[in-house]
Structure 1
């Protein structure tokens, strides 16, 4: 059978059609899928780009490194700036130059060469009894003898605390940080253990007067949806935003990077840029009571009630460089014993 040129073109188009596909982006994340799904759905609705989400409990860097050049990963998303730095050191990221990202994210909250970007903030704060007169405090003051037997905190080796200790090293050096840790250990009302919510529980129970914890846990406990023990613990406390002397409030972050061998690089950058939009920053706040990384973006009313967050200006990269020393100091002073 002979085909006319018109039929030949039609057949060629027919057979080529299955090869075409809608724009998509592959997201590898260690974040709770339920927190990320509202963001990915909003991105797809806004752009038409489909997001294929692969949720990992841990081992993000190892997974992508093992996949090598054939890795389908486009965007790598995780919590804790130490994990973001680990991705760079593992060689699984690539630099990105984006005016949108650079203008939305303060320089101290992103990699100098564009390998990773913070997307939301988690402040390390102090919980105090709701009727307490305490209205301000420095991190340095946590070691003051006035708090002897009155301080609750989780393990010093937990990433939330090693990052805070690393920030103290960045501000004051190793020797001063060792003394600070010894002072805080002497002030403990109980063994450094448990979780951040336990600090609120133990304030309600009269075990401690103050506790070091993340603000977003307080947001959850003070949420209109909180029930039972969580609600009671939230009602028992108020949140004080500490600062370093001459600095600001310490924050950790959730953040993301573009994978080194991203097959959909343009879409990956487009997703990161969407995640710092006012719309996405508002979704972050509503989903998990995290602060927006973009200055001027809306803050959840519960978080806003804690006061204005003034982020410590020391670059997260500089703080991350002290993680190993911070962990060694925790062991040296027997903080968790």
Structure 2
């Protein structure tokens, strides 16, 4: 009897204790890029953060785990992955005055399923020696015959390029975009290959004169002893759509549908959108804060200013399938 009473008392005590304060994250962003944020959050709140880095298959993993998933939050580097997670039903809406105040409307899901954290522009890296400043002003200009044999890019099926193609569809329609892809392919110096940094290396090596890339790669190359010389061989140009602005994409955060620590997860999400965290995150990633109250790092600011395109990010995510179809129809990587 004493043993049973003791066990009952222990169980009652255990259930009365608060759950362990922690947040578990599935992240497409490398741990070293978000560790400064995690350290600052834990120091401020005492809440522990555990990170599982995934190269791919985040949504599929959440679907397979179902209610058993340990993940409370997902972090992605692309709006398409956020849209996929929402469509698969593995996220949940979050009502927070803090989040809606900190994140501008264009950088968050209309149903509050996800919230943007930082943005980056899809720009042109141009040779300092062989391309005049301001010589290229629009994405449409990339099909001009003067660029024949002078453009490098990674695969047209990569998420960064299909996002740009989706934006072209949003501005000009499918027929125009198919012609644009055909013209862009005709101007390539070589078959699409490698990543964005590899294209800058090709410019440095004299294999092409301009390439498509994300802004943050400039910061990453400047921090690398070998790649610094590639970065110093180019400058960033901010092209825009003829009837719009410069194409941007975002990193973002969402709460999982079966989060075990929703209150702590919400605190983490709100922290990520604070001016303090925005500055830390944007500086670590060499990206632009989405919060208008946070300034980019001095390095990022030195690349110049641009007007972001105002095409709805969820509209772009919805056009990715059509964009991929057009890329394959013109055999862009062939």
What RMSD, in angstroms, separates the aligned Cα atoms of the two structures? 2.2
**1:46-125 to 2 correspondences below 5 Å:** 46-125=44-123
Deviation at 1:14, TM superposition (A): 11
Q: Map 1:308-323 to 2 at 5 A.
A: 308-323=305-320
Task: Return the offset for 1:20.
Answer: 4.0
Determine the structure 2 residue equivalent to 1:238: 235
TM-score, normalized by length of structure 2?
Answer: 0.92
SS state of the match for residue 303, structure 2?
coil
Choose 320-329 or 27-36, whichever is displaced more.
27-36
How much has 1:22 moved relative to structure 2? 4.3
Contact 1:169 1:177 in 2 (8 A): yes
2:22 aligned with 1:44? no
After superposition, the C-alpha distances for 1:114-143 in whole angstroms (9 at most, x for unaligned) are 111111112111011124322251111111
Instruction: Say which SS state the counterpart of residue 170 (structure 2) adopts.
Output: helix
- Report the counterpart of residue 133 of structure 1 in structure 2: 132
**CA, structure 1 residues 295+74, in 2 after alignment: closer, same or farther (shift >3 Å)?**
same
Determine the structure 1 residue equivalent to 2:280. 283
Superposed displacement of residue 106, structure 1: 2.2
Q: Is the 8 A contact 1:119 1:276 kept in 2?
A: yes
Within the alignment, does 1:206 sit opposite 2:232 as a pair? no
What is residue 305 of structure 1 aligned with on the other side?
302
247-256 or 172-181, which deviates more: 247-256
Give how far 1:213 is off. 0.7
Give, in whole Å, the separation in 1 of the partners of 2:241 and 2:279. 28
Please say if residues 171 and 243 of structure 2, whose CA atoms lie closer than 8 Å, have aligned partners that are also in contact.
Answer: no
* C-alpha deviation, 1:172, in angstroms: 0.9
Q: Give, in angstroms, the shift of residue 12 of structure 1.
A: 5.9
In structure 2, the gaps of 5 or more residues are none
1:219 and 2:216 correspond: no
Measured in 2, the distance between the counterparts of 1:72 and 1:295 equals 33
- Given that 1:241 and 1:306 are in contact with CA atoms closer than 8 Å, whether structure 2 keeps it comes out as no
How far the C-alpha of 1:309 sits from its partner, in A, is: 3.4
For residue 296 of structure 1, report the CA deviation from its aligned partner: 3.6
Q: What residue in structure 2 maps to residue 29 of structure 1? A: 27
* SS of residue paired to 1:242: coil
- Quote the residue 2:262 is aligned against: 265
Q: Distance in 2 between matches of 1:156 and 1:302?
A: 29
**Contact persistence 1:107–1:315 (CA under 8 A):** no
Q: Which moved more, 1:318-327 or 1:13-22?
A: 13-22
What is the CA–CA distance in structure 2 between the aligned matches of 1:71 and 1:199, rounded to whole Å? 39
Question: What's the CA shift for 1:246?
Answer: 2.2
Change (3 A) 1:317 1:40: same
Q: Counterpart of 2:177? A: 177
Deviation of 1:240 after TM superposition, in Å, equals 0.7
CA distance in 2, matches of 1:16, 1:37: 35
Q: How far off is 1:21 after superposition?
A: 4.6
Give the counterpart of 1:326 among 318, 323, 327: 323
Distance 1:173 1:22, change over 3 A: same
What number of residue pairs does the alignment pair up?
328
- What's the CA shift for 1:17? 6.4
Q: Quick check: 2:28–2:54 contact (8 Å CA) kept in 1?
A: yes
Alpha-carbon separation, structure 2, partners of 1:147 and 1:305: 27
Q: Distance in 2 between matches of 1:148 and 1:134?
A: 19
Query: Residues of 2 paired with 1:56 and 1:195: CA distance?
Result: 18
Instruction: Calculate the TM-score normalised by the size of structure 1.
Output: 0.91
Quote the offset at 1:111 in angstroms: 1.0
> Where in structure 1 are there 5+ consecutive unaligned residues?
3-7
